[in-house]
């Protein structure tokens, strides 16, 4: 295990955490119980922030970036995991306080690992990655809220052509919901329709400041954009409906009022994938294994080498990535 491998390391450069390539060995990894040979990682919005240095994602440096990874156990000091097990990790502080997936090897805590569902290849699991698993957490959260029923009314998905949005549309459509996609890229409409979107709303419409109580339209929604978009989504949600919010691609502010919540009992359900308990993760991955059409998944996915990460980081922050990017770390 003395061979060297290339890692995308987030280090402090000119006072800010930023990514660059570095040669490492297994001896450079933290002393966690399970050694995994990583096959693939992914590119999420948060990875774009970490690599480019445009967001302070890494809270200690240096560390290996990449919030997701998938691979095979090589060595384990605990009985739950054995050499040869196919595993993945989403979140748990990878790329924030822990070494992540942008390297051929990772040493991981046993409680972070999830067994790869049989239906997915390693590349498909990473095509889903944090973005897709978060979309599944959001659908689960809406169903748990209990007022949103398949076939009744419209469910809004914002940031539709992005990673979270694309998987959210596919999952909602598979469960029978009538999905309206909000996108700023009209050229993606055929793509979004192929995933299951029935109606479209220009994202600029949701970015115009509106009143606190607008015409009721959405029975529910999944928002990865935040800011005025989320405030409008809440103001346009029907009595008793809910919006599951997970992202800030359009801004971290929330310029709204309490009015939709106190006059229409509209719920704003926050969704965090990073520290989600194992029970929620298992449920989200079970939904993905059951409902996600693999042909659709393949149609939203592109495979890229690690060497492209610096350019891809800029692209995802500029809203230029459609669907999901799998990173081949070999």
Binding mask 107-146 for ligand NDP (x = CB under 6 A): -----------------------xx--x------------
321 in contact with ligand NDP (CB under 6 A)? yes
- Is 196 a binding residue for ligand NDP by CB under 6 A? The answer is no
**Length of the chain in terms of residues written:** 330
Give the one residue of 57, 103, 160, 309 binding ligand NDP; rule: CB under 6 A: 160
Tokens of 305: 């080498």
Tokens of 76: 């384990």
User: Which residue from 41, 95, 236, 273 is in contact with ligand NDP, where contact means CB under 6 A?
Assistant: 273
Instruction: Specify the residue for token string 């949701």.
Output: 206
Nearer CB in complex with ligand NDP: 53/165:
165
Q: Cβ of residue 304: shortest distance to ligand NDP, in angstroms?
A: 14
Q: Binding ligand NDP by CB under 6 A: which of 104, 107, 203, 296?
A: 203
Nearest approach in angstroms of CB 220 to ligand NDP is: 17
Query: Is 151 or 270 the residue whose CB approaches ligand NDP more closely?
Result: 270
* Gap between the Cα atoms of 240 and 149, Å rounded: 12
Which one of 185, 198, 261, 264 is in contact with ligand NDP (CB under 6 A)? 185
Among positions 74, 114, 274, 289, the unique one binding ligand NDP when judged by CB under 6 A: 274
Q: Are strands 154-157 and 178-183 parallel, antiparallel or unpaired?
A: parallel
Is 26 a binder of ligand NDP (CB under 6 A)? no
Among 24, 69, 316, 327, binds ligand NDP (CB under 6 A): 316
Rounded Cα gap, residues 316 and 52, in angstroms:
10
Query: Measured from the CB of residue 253, what is the shortest distance to ligand NDP in angstroms?
Result: 12
Residue 236 binds ligand NDP, judged by CB under 6 A: no
The answer to whether 300 contacts ligand NDP (rule: CB under 6 A) is no
Q: Does 57 bind ligand NDP (CB under 6 A)?
A: no
Instruction: Out of 250, 266, 288, 297, name the contact with ligand NDP by CB under 6 A.
Output: 250
**Chain centre distance of CA 7:** 22
| Chain residues in the site for ligand NDP (CB under 6 A) | 44-46, 130-131, 134, 159-165, 183-185, 203, 224-225, 246-250, 271-274, 316, 319, 321
């Amino acid at each position: 295990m003395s061979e060297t491998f290339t890692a995308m390391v987030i280090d402090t450069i000119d006072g800010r955490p930023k990514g660059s390539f570095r040669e490492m060995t297994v001896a450079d990894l933290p002393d966690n119980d399970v050694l995994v040979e990583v096959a693939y990682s992914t590119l999420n919005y948060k990875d774009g922030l970490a690599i480019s240095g445009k967001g302070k994602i890494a809270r200690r440096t240096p560390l290996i970036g990449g919030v997701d990874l998938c691979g095979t156990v090589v060595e384990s000091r605990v009985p739950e995991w054995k050499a040869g097990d196919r595993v993945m990790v989403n979140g748990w502080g990878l790329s924030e306080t822990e070494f992540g997936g942008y390297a051929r090897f990772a040493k991981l805590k046993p409680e972070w690992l999830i067994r790869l569902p049989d239906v997915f290849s390693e590349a498909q699991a990473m095509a889903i990655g944090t973005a897709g698993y978060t979309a599944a957490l959001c659908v689960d959260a809406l169903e748990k809220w209990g007022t949103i029923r398949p076939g009744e009314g419209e469910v809004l998905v914002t940031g539709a052509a992005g990673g979270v949005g694309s998987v959210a549309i596919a999952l909602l459509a598979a469960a029978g919901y009538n999905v309206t996609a909000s996108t700023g890229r009209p050229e993606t409409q055929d793509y979004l329709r192929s995933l299951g979107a029935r109606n479209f709303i220009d994202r600029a419409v949701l970015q115009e400041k509106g009143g606190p109580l607008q015409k009721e339209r959405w029975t529910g929604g999944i928002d990865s954009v935040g800011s005025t978009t989320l405030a409008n989504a809440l103001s346009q949600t029907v009595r008793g409906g809910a919006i599951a919010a997970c992202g800030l691609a359009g801004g971290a502010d929330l310029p709204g009022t309490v009015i939709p919540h106190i006059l229409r009992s509209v719920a704003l359900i926050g969704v965090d994938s990073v520290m989600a308990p194992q029970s929620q993760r298992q449920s989200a991955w079970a939904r993905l294994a059951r409902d996600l059409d693999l042909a659709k998944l393949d149609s939203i996915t592109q495979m890229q080498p690690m060497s492209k990460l610096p350019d891809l980081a800029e692209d995802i922050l500029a809203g230029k990535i459609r669907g999901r990017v799998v990173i081949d770390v070999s």
